[in-house]
């Protein structure tokens, strides 16, 4: 069966998350329904990252197997026609080798968490950023963030519902920068634990507000205890921006 690699963007607000669930609409389900509508066959679309309810993506990657060979641009356009008006778009479709797996072939995932620190409510960025009404010390946040880089037990920063076999992860990047009123927390790793990025963002805001020091953040990590985590940041500030693969992976 021909395999295709899809690059997908979506607004996570109306969905229960990426993964198909019985309690509401999912991004995975929307894609499967759209592809089935034109291909005439039931399909399973498998994604690189199982984003939570309300989390967005500008560079999610998925793969799907179809009984019939389609031109990639036809697959892209037909899927998008049947996805409307749901806020999901297939940005690119490409033939992929049978060995390509959107999830297991990935070598790095990139996330961006967006914060706006201002008193007035958000209009243009509503649903796309977390508004914090007090000025944040971005330099302190970035300095503290560097204490979390490397391979650690991230039990403090993972959901109690996380199903990962191990809490050990290697955090390759965690940068905090300011662009005007926006604070951008950019992070990447081979894989993340459930709620890890939102947990890190919430604890870093505690640093930015002066409630925590860099030592406090490092101590929370060392405790490997979920109770040591700061408030978990809301999902709507988080976007999966890119997924990396070995050179040539996913090219049919």
Q: What are phi and psi of 160, to 5 degrees?
A: -65, -20
CA distances from 184 to 26, 126, 144, 178 (A): 27, 16, 15, 6
**Residues 113, 234: one domain?**
yes
Q: Is residue 48 part of a domain?
A: yes
pLDDT at 250 over 60: no
The pLDDT of 54-64, averaged and rounded, is 98
Establish if 198 belongs to a structural domain. yes
Residue 87: both structure tokens together: 């806020």
pLDDT of 64 > 70? The answer is yes
Q: Name the pLDDT band for 30 (thresholds 50, 70, 90).
A: very high
Claim to verify: residue 17 and residue 123 sit in the same structural domain: no
What share of the chain has pLDDT > 70, as a percent? 98
In tens, the pLDDT along 205-242 reads 999 999 999 999 999 999 999 999 999 999 999 999 99
Tracing tokens 């505690």 back to the chain, one arrives at: 206
Q: Which two tokens stand for residue 131?
A: 């508004």
Q: What is the pLDDT of residues 107-147, one digit of tens each?
A: 999 999 999 999 999 999 999 999 999 999 999 999 999 99
Q: Is residue 8 predicted with pLDDT exceeding 60?
A: yes
- Mean pLDDT computed over 42-55: 95
> In terms of domains, do 83 and 143 share one?
no
Per-residue DSSP letters for 59-119? EEEEEEE-SS---HHHHHHHHHHHHTTSSEEEEEEEEE-TT--TTTT--EEEEEEEEE--S
Same domain, 101 and 116: no
Q: What percent of the chain has pLDDT over 90?
A: 94
**Domain boundary at 58, 79, 105, which?**
105
Mark whether 124 and 237 lie in a shared domain: yes
Task: Please report the pLDDT score of residue 247 as a whole number.
Answer: 82
**How many folded domains does the chain comprise?**
2
List the domain range (segments joined by +) for residue 114: 108-242
pLDDT at position 22, please? Answer: 85
Question: Which stretch of DSSP H or E encloses residue 207?
Answer: helix 196-208
Mean pLDDT of the chain: 96
The enclosing H or E element of 244 equals: strand 238-244
Q: What pLDDT is recorded for position 162?
A: 85
Phi and psi angles of residue 149, each rounded to the nearest 5 degrees, phi first: -65, 150
Active site residues: 52
Q: Distance between CA atoms of 62 and 60, rounded to whole angstroms?
A: 7
Decide: 218 and 147 in contact? Cβ < 8 Å.
yes
Q: Do 70 and 173 have their domain in common?
A: no
- At residue 72, the pLDDT reads 97
User: Does residue 140 share a domain with residue 25?
Assistant: no
Task: Say whether pLDDT at 14 is over 90.
Answer: yes
Six-digit token pair at 15?
């969905």
Instruction: Say if residue 196 is in the same domain as residue 86.
Output: no
> Which of 72, 105, 138 is the C-terminal boundary of a domain?
105
What is the band of 249 on the pLDDT scale with cuts at 50, 70, 90?
A: low
CA distances to 10, 86, 246 from 27, rounded to whole Å, are 8, 9, 25
171 DSSP β-pair partners: 150, 189
| 220 domain-assigned | yes
Residue 252 lies inside a defined structural domain of this protein? no
Which among 105, 129, 163 is the end of a domain?
105
Evaluate whether residue 192 is within a structural domain: yes
* Residue 118 and residue 221 in one domain: yes
Q: For position 152, what pLDDT does the model report? A: 97
Same structural domain, 197 and 112: yes
Query: Is there a domain that residue 250 lies in?
Result: no
pLDDT given at position 51: 94
Compute φ and ψ for 82, nearest 5 degrees. Answer: -90, -15
């Amino acid at each position: 069966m021909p395999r295709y690699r899809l690059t997908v963007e979506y607004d996570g607000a109306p969905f229960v998350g990426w993964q198909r669930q019985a309690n509401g609409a999912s991004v995975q389900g929307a894609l499967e329904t759209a592809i089935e509508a034109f291909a005439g066959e039931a399909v399973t679309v498998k994604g690189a990252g199982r984003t939570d309810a309300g989390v967005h993506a500008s560079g999610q990657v998925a793969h799907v197997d179809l009984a019939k060979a389609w031109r990639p641009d036809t697959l892209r356009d037909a899927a998008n026609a049947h996805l409307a008006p749901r806020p999901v778009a297939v940005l690119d479709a490409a033939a992929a080798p049978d060995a390509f797996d959107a999830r297991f072939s990935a070598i790095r995932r990139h996330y961006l968490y967006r914060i706006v620190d201002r008193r007035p409510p958000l209009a243009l960025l509503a649903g796309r950023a977390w508004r914090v009404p007090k000025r944040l010390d971005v330099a302190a946040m970035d300095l503290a963030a560097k204490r979390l880089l490397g391979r650690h037990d991230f039990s403090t920063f993972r959901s109690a519902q996380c199903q990962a076999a191990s809490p050990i992860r290697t955090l390759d990047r965690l940068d905090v920068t300011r662009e005007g009123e926006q604070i951008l927390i950019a992070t990447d790793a081979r894989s993340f634990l459930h709620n890890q990025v939102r947990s890190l963002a919430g604890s870093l805001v505690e640093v930015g507000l002066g409630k925590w020091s860099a030592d406090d953040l490092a101590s929370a990590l060392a405790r490997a205890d979920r109770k040591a985590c700061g408030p978990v940041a809301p999902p709507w500030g988080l976007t999966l921006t890119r997924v990396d693969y070995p050179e040539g992976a996913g090219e049919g």
